[in-house]
Chains A and B, each alone.
Chain A
C-alpha cells in the first residue's frame, strides 16, 4: 500500500454561525497532486489554512505524514510550504531579500541562505528581477516569488491556495509549468482552484468541494466521464425563444436547459459537435438567426450543475 501524505477525516470548522467545513474527508498519497475544486466560499481556503496550522479544526482528524496539525504544529511547519492567492511578498524588499529572509527563518546559515535563494531564483526564472523591490513586479512575478518563498524550506508537502487566480492565461501557463516540475520532483502537492481546466491540467486526483463538503472525488478522467459531455449553447432573440427551444428538443431528444440570466439554451451531449451541426441546419430552415451558437467544454458551473443539481453562485466568503 502506498503511503499517505495528507489525511483529513470528518473535519468540521465553523466561524460563528457560518459553517466553512462540514465533515470533509480526504486522503492524499505521497507524491501526488491533489486538487480541491470549488467556488469562492466553498471551504477550500479554510481547509488549506487548517493544513498549514493557521487554523484549528473544530472536530475531526488532520494529519500530515502521520503528524497531527493540532498537536505537532512546529513539526508540521518544517514539513510544509505554503503559497497563497494573496502573494504575501514584502513590497519594499527585493525578491532575493525575501527568499533569504525566509531561508534565515528556516534557520539556514547566512551562506546557505544565499545559496538557497539563488537556487530558487534560477529555478523559477526570477534572475532578471531578483534584485528589484517586489513592488515593481507584475502579478505573475509576485506569484512566482510567493511560490519560491514556499519552496525555501524544501517542503515534502506543498500547499497552493489558488495559485493562479487573477493571472492572465499566458502567465497561468507558465505557473502550471513550474508546478508540474515541482510535482515531478516527487513532492506531494495540494492545490485549490476555481478552474476545472487547472485541476484537469495539474492534478492526479480532484475533489469537488461545495458548501464545506466534498461532493465528488476521483481522477480527472473519472470526473470528466461522469460529467459526460460537451455543451451546445444557443442564444436567440426573445421572440424566437419558444421556437428555438422546441427545435433543440427535437434535435437532441432531451429537454434543453434555460439560463434566466443569459437567456441561453443549452444541452450537454456526448456527440455535441454533431448536435451543433444539425441544430444549425434546423434553425436555418426555420429562418431563426442565433445571436450565439457555441460548443464548449464543461465549465466549473456545468460540473456543479451536474454534481449538485444547482448553479454555482457567489457566496459570502468565509473569513480568512
Chain B
C-alpha cells in the first residue's frame, strides 16, 4: 500500500517538474503551437480548393480532425526528445540513484506532455472554429472527440519514450520519430480520402491507427458510424500496454 502511495507521489512530483519546464520555456510552447496552426492554414487554403467537396464536404470540416491527429502525434515526439535530453544531462542518473518508483520518471514525462497536448489541441480547435469548422453532433460528442485525440497522443508518447531511451540523442530521436510519424500521417485519411490512393497503399491506410482515430473523431463531430471509436480505444490501450512496460524496462537498464 505504501509502495503504491509513494509511486503516485513520485509520479506527481516528476509531472510537476516537467510541466514547470514547459511553462517556463514559453518560447518552446509558442513555436510548437504556431507550427500546427500554420499546417492547418496551409492545408486548408492550398488543398481546400482542389479536393472535391463531394468527397469531403466543407474541407475544413474534413481537415480539422486530421490536423488534430497530426498535432497529437508530433506533440508525442517531445516525450522521446525530452527523455534523451534527461539521459544526456545526467538527470536520469540522478533519478535512478534515488529510492523512487521506476515508473515515475517516464510516467511523469508522458503526463506532462499530455497536458501540453491538451493545450495545443484546444488551441487548434479554436483556430478551426475561426476558419469555419462546425461540429454538428453536440458539444458532448465534440469534447469526447478532442479527448480521444489527446489520449491517442498520450499512447504515442510511450512509443516515443522507447525511441528516446534507445537512441539517447535528442536530435537523432527527432529524425527517427519522423520516420514513422510521416508515413502514419500521410498514408492515412488525415488530409485526403483514402479512395484516391493505389490499392496496395489503401490496405495500410485503412487499417492503421491514425486513420482510425481520425475517422472516429470525424464521426463524433459530424455524425457517422462509431465503430472506429472502439477500434481507436483498442489501439490506445494496446499501445500503452505494450510500450509502457518496455520503456520502463529500458529506463531501469539505461546506461
Chain A residues within 8 Å of B, Cβ to Cβ: 49, 52-55, 74, 77-78, 80, 82, 84, 86-88, 90, 92-93, 97, 101-102, 104-107, 133, 149, 153, 319-320
Question: Would you give the shortest CB distance from B109 to chain A, in whole angstroms?
Answer: 13
Interface of A is mostly: loop
Residues of B near A105 (CB, < 8 A) are 10, 13, 95, 98-100, 104
**CA of A153 to CA of B94, assembled, Å:** 12
A53-B97, A77-B97 known; A92-B89 Cβ under 8 A: no
A55-B255, A93-B17, A105-B100 known; A88-B93 Cβ under 8 A: yes
Question: Would you give the shortest CB distance from A51 to chain B, in whole angstroms?
Answer: 10
Confirm or deny: B91 has a beta carbon within 8 angstroms of a beta carbon on chain A: yes
**CA of A57 to CA of B91, assembled, Å:** 22
Q: Is the CB of A101 within 8 A of B17?
A: yes
Question: Would you give the shortest CB distance from A134 to chain B, in whole angstroms?
Answer: 11
**CA of A271 to CA of B178, assembled, Å:** 67
**CA of A320 to CA of B92, assembled, Å:** 12
Q: Is the CB of B20 within 8 A of A86?
A: no
Interface of B is mostly: helix
Residues of B near A102 (CB, < 8 A) are 94, 98
Question: Would you give the shortest CB distance from B34 to chain A, in whole angstroms?
Answer: 21
**CA of A180 to CA of B234, assembled, Å:** 58
Q: Is the CB of B20 within 8 A of A82?
A: no
Between A and B, 8 residue pairs with Cβ closer than 8 Å are A54-B93, A54-B97, A86-B89, A88-B89, A92-B21, A105-B10, A105-B13, A105-B99
Partner of B255, one of A97, A101, A319: A319
A77-B98, A101-B13 known; A90-B21 Cβ under 8 A: yes
**CA of A77 to CA of B90, assembled, Å:** 17
Shortest Cβ distance from B252 into A: residue = A73
Q: Is the CB of A133 within 8 A of B9?
A: no
Residues of B near A74 (CB, < 8 A) are 99
**CA of A87 to CA of B94, assembled, Å:** 10
Residues of A near B95 (CB, < 8 A) are 105
Question: Would you give the shortest CB distance from B88 to chain A, in whole angstroms?
Answer: 9
Residues of B near A106 (CB, < 8 A) are 98-99
**CA of A316 to CA of B93, assembled, Å:** 21
Q: Is the CB of B99 within 8 A of A153?
A: yes
Residues of A near B100 (CB, < 8 A) are 105
Confirm or deny: B96 has a beta carbon within 8 angstroms of a beta carbon on chain A: yes
Confirm or deny: B35 has a beta carbon within 8 angstroms of a beta carbon on chain A: no
**CA of A319 to CA of B255, assembled, Å:** 8
Residues of B near A49 (CB, < 8 A) are 93, 255
Question: Would you give the shortest CB distance from A62 to chain B, in whole angstroms?
Answer: 15
